[in-house]
C-alpha cells in the first residue's frame, strides 16, 4: 500500500473513532429531550466521505459531484441530474433555463404567466418574479394542500406558459390531471420536488413527470448536503440550458478543470465575437454561478445510500402518527392522499377545525412547551408577506383555503431521527391536550 493510502486509512479510522465519541446520541427523555421537526441523520460514513473530499482538495464540483449526479439520475430513472448549491437555486435555474432565447416561441418572455400556489415555500414563487414573469395563484385543497387542479384550465390566459408547483410536504399533486392540462395547452411543467424525494405516483417517482424537477438537500430534507440542490430532466436541450445558467451563462460545457470537451475550442464563431474566440469564455446567457462544491457532494453520495431506509422510516412515522391521530378527526383535518399517490412524507400536516374548541396557537404552544417542534406550511399565503408589497401577480378566483392554512395549519416531524418511542410521546401529548382542551 502506498504511504498516502496508509495515511488515509489511518485518518478515516480516527474520524470513525471521533464520530463514535463526539456524535453519540443521548437517550430520549420524554419531556426533557427535544423532538425536532427534522434534522440531519448520518453516521461516520458521511464524515469520512467529507474528509476524503477535503484530502483531495479539489474543492469545486469533481469526482463526488459526478458520482452523485449519476447515481441520483439512476435512482430516479431520469437522463440528467445537475447539482446546484440549494433547492432555491434549482428553482431559479429551472425558470431561468426556460427563458433562453434558444427555445424560440416556447421560451418564457417578460409578462408571461406561470400558474402556481400561494400556500408554499417562497422560493418556488420568487424565481417567477425574479425573471419578470407573473405568478398566477390558484387556491389549494385542505387535506392534500395541493393545487385545486380543476381550476387550472379556467385560470389559463393567452399569456400562460408554465405550471410550477410543489408536491406539498411530499404529497403528490394530481399528476394525471395536471400532465393532461400541460400537454393540452402546451405548457411547461416544473415539479418542485424539494419536499418529496421518494414519493411515487402510479408507481413512478415524482420529479420524473414534468419537463424539469427540482430537489433540496438542506438538512430537514430527505437527504442532506448541508446546503445543496439538484435539477433533473430527460430533455438534453434543457440540461444544457440549465448548465449554462448555472455556470456563469457560458456556452462551453467543460467540467471544472477540463478543456476542449467540444473538440473545437478555438473554432467557434458566436454572437459578434471574432472567429476562434476561446469557447470557454463565450456567454450565451445572462447566467449565475450556482455550482455545488465537491465537499457537499461527498456527503450526498453517502446520504444517497441511506435514502431507501430514510423513505421507509418517514412512511412508518407518518403511518404511526396517522393511526394515533385518527381518533381526533373531529378536532383536526388529517392529511389526505390520492389513491394513485404513495408519499415519502416531509411532515405531518394538521389543520385545526373551526369548532375544535381550541386554536392553532393553543395546540402549538402546548406542543412547544412539551419540547415538540412545530412548523407552519411555510409562507402560509405568500401574497400577505411584506416582500409582496410591490409585486405584480394575479389571483384566480379566491384563496379561501390558503388563508385558512395561514391561520389554522401547522405540521410536526416524521423524519427518520424520530423513533417509535418518540412518536408515542408525541401522541401522548396530543391525548393530554385534547383531554384538557377539546370542545
Ligand atoms: C418546496 C420547497 N421548495 C424549495 C425549497 C428551497 O430549498 P433550499 O432551502 O435548499 O434553498 C424548499 C426549502 O425547504 C421547499 O420546501
Q: Which CATH architecture has domain 307-437?
A: Alpha-Beta Complex (3.90)
Confidence at 62, pLDDT banded by 50, 70, 90: very high
pLDDT at 335: 98
Dist CA 318 CA 141 (whole Å): 20
User: Do 290 and 214 touch, CB atoms closer than 8 A?
Assistant: no
What percent of the chain clears pLDDT 70, i.e. is strictly above it? Answer: 100
Tell me, in angstroms, the distance from the centre of ligand 1 to residue 58's CA: 27
What CATH number should be reported for the domain whose range is 51-257+283-295?
3.40.640.10
Mean pLDDT of 65-89: 98
Q: State pLDDT tens for residues 310-323.
A: 999 999 999 999 99
Q: How far is the CA of 214 from the centre of ligand 1 (A)?
A: 9
Domain boundaries, the chain: 51-257+283-295, 258-282, 307-437
Q: State the cell numbers at 364.
A: 402549538
Residue-by-residue DSSP string for 15-72: HHHHHHHHSPPPPP-TTTS-B-S------HHHHHHHHHHHHHT--BS-HHHHHHHHHH
Alpha helices by DSSP H, listed for 192-293, are 236-246
Q: How far is the first Cα of the chain from the last one, in angstroms, to the nearest whole number?
A: 72
Q: What is the mean pLDDT of residues 55-76?
A: 97
Distance 87 CA to ligand 1 centre (A): 5
Asked if residue 265 has pLDDT above 70, the reply is: yes
- For β-strands 212-216 and 188-192, DSSP reports them as parallel
Helix (H, G, I), strand (E, B) or coil at 214: strand
- pLDDT at res. 147: 98
What's the rounded mean pLDDT across residues 150-164? 98
Alpha carbon 153 to chain centroid distance? Answer: 26
Whole-model pTM: value is 0.97
Choosing from 218, 228, 231 the residue with most ligand 1 atoms within 8 A of its CB, the one to mutate for a pocket test is 218
pLDDT at position 438 over 70: no
Q: Residue 120: CB partners within 8 Å, gap ≥ 6? A: 165, 166, 168, 192, 377, 378, 379, 382
Is the C-beta atom of 195 inside 6 A of ligand 1? yes
User: Given this model, what pLDDT does residue 188 score?
Assistant: 98
Q: Give the model confidence (pLDDT) of 284-304 as tens digits.
A: 999 999 999 999 999 999 999
SS3 content of the chain, % helix, strand, coil (to 5): 40, 15, 45
The ligand 1 atom nearest the CA atom of 217: 10
| CA count, 13 A, side-chain hemisphere, 98 | 29
Distance (Å, rounded) from C-alpha 308 to C-alpha 187? 33
Query: Is the per-residue pLDDT at 190 higher than 90?
Result: yes
CA gap 359, 364 in Å, rounded: 9
User: Is residue 439 over pLDDT 90?
Assistant: no
User: Residue 1 has what pLDDT?
Assistant: 85
Residue 267 has pLDDT above 90, yes or no: yes
For residue range 210-256, list pLDDT tens digits in order.
Answer: 999 999 999 999 999 999 999 999 999 999 999 999 999 999 998 88
What pLDDT is recorded for position 24? 87
For the Cβ of 192 lying below 6 angstroms from any atom of ligand 1, the answer is yes
How far is the CA of 129 from the CAs of 113, 152, 186, 336, 394, in angstroms? 10, 20, 21, 31, 12
121 lines ligand 1 (CB under 6 A): yes
Residue 421 has pLDDT above 80, yes or no: yes
Q: Exactly one of 221, 222, 279, 285 is catalytic; name it.
A: 221
Determine the atom of ligand 1 nearest the C-alpha atom of 228: 10
> Which of 38-47, 317-326, 430-439 is the least confident region?
430-439
Atom in ligand 1 nearest the alpha carbon of residue 91 = 4
Q: What is the distance in A from the centroid of ligand 1 to the CA of 39?
A: 14
Using one digit for the tens of pLDDT, what is the confidence trace for 338-367?
999 999 999 999 999 999 999 999 999 999
How far apart, in whole angstroms, are the C-alpha atoms of residue 51 and residue 60? 15
Which phi and psi (to 5°) does residue 352 adopt?
Answer: -75, 130
- pLDDT exceeds 80 at position 96: yes
For the chain, give the percent of residues with pLDDT over 90.
97
Amino acid at each position: 500500500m502506498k504511504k498516502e493510502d496508509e495515511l488515509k486509512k489511518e485518518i478515516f479510522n480516527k474520524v470513525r473513532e471521533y464520530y463514535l465519541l463526539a456524535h453519540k446520541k443521548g437517550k430520549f427523555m420524554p419531556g426533557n429531550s427535544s423532538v425536532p421537526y427534522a434534522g440531519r441523520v448520518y453516521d461516520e460514513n458521511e464524515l469520512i466521505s467529507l474528509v476524503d473530499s477535503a484530502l483531495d482538495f479539489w474543492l469545486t464540483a469533481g469526482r463526488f459531484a459526478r458520482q452523485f449526479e449519476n447515481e441520483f439520475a439512476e435512482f430516479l430513472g431520469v437522463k440528467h441530474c445537475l447539482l446546484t448549491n440549494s433547492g432555491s437555486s434549482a428553482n431559479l435555474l429551472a425558470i431561468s433555463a426556460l427563458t433562453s432565447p434558444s427555445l424560440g416561441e416556447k421560451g418564457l418572455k417578460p409578462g408571461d404567466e406561470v400558474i402556481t400556489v400561494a400556500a408554499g415555500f417562497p422560493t418556488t414563487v420568487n424565481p417567477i418574479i425574479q425573471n419578470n414573469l407573473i405568478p398566477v395563484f390558484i387556491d389549494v385543497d385542505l387535506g392534500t394542500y395541493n393545487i385545486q387542479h380543476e381550476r387550472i384550465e379556467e385560470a389559463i390566459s393567452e399569456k400562460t406558459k408554465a405550471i410550477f408547483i410543489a408536491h406539498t410536504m411530499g404529497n403528490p399533486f394530481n399528476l394525471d390531471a395536471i400532465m393532461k392540462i400541460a400537454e393540452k395547452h402546451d405548457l411547461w411543467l416544473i415539479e418542485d420536488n424539494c419536499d418529496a424525494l421518494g414519493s411515487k405516483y402510479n408507481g413512478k417517482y415524482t420529479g420524473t413527470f414534468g419537463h424539469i424537477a427540482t430537489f433540496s438537500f438542506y438538512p430537514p430534507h430527505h437527504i442532506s448536503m448541508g446546503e445543496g440542490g439538484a435539477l433533473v430532466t430527460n430533455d438534453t436541450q434543457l440540461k444544457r440550458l440549465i448548465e449554462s445558467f448555472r455556470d456563469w451563462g457560458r456556452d462551453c460545457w467543460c467540467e471544472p478543470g477540463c478543456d476542449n470537451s467540444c473538440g473545437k475550442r478555438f473554432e467557434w464563431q458566436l454572437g459578434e465575437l471574432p472567429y476562434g474566440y476561446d469557447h470557454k469564455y463565450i456567454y450565451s446567457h445572462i447566467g449565475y454561478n450556482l455550482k455545488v462544491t465537491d465537499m457537499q457532494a461527498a456527503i450526498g453520495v453517502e446520504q444517497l445510500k441511506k435514502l431507501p431506509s430514510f423513505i421507509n422510516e418517514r412512511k412508518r412515522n407518518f403511518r404511526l402518527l396517522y393511526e394515533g391521530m385518527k381518533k381526533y378527526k373531529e378536532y383536526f383535518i388529517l392529511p389526505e392522499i390520492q389513491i394513485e399517490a404513495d408519499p415519502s412524507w416531509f411532515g405531518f400536516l394538521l389543520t385545526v377545525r373551526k369548532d375544535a374548541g381550541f386554536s392553532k396557537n393553543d395546540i402549538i404552544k402546548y406542543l412547544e412547551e412539551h419540547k415538540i417542534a412545530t412548523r407552519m406550511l411555510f409562507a402560509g399565503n405568500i401574497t400577505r408577506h411584506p416582500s409582496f408589497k410591490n409585486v405584480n401577480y394575479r389571483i384566480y378566483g379566491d384563496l379561501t383555503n390558503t388563508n385558512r392554512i395561514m391561520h389554522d395549519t401547522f405540521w410536526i416531524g416524521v423524519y427518520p431521527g424520530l423513533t417509535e418511542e418518540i412518536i408515542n410521546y408525541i401522541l401522548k401529548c396530543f391525548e393530554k391536550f385534547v383531554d384538557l382542551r377539546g370542545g
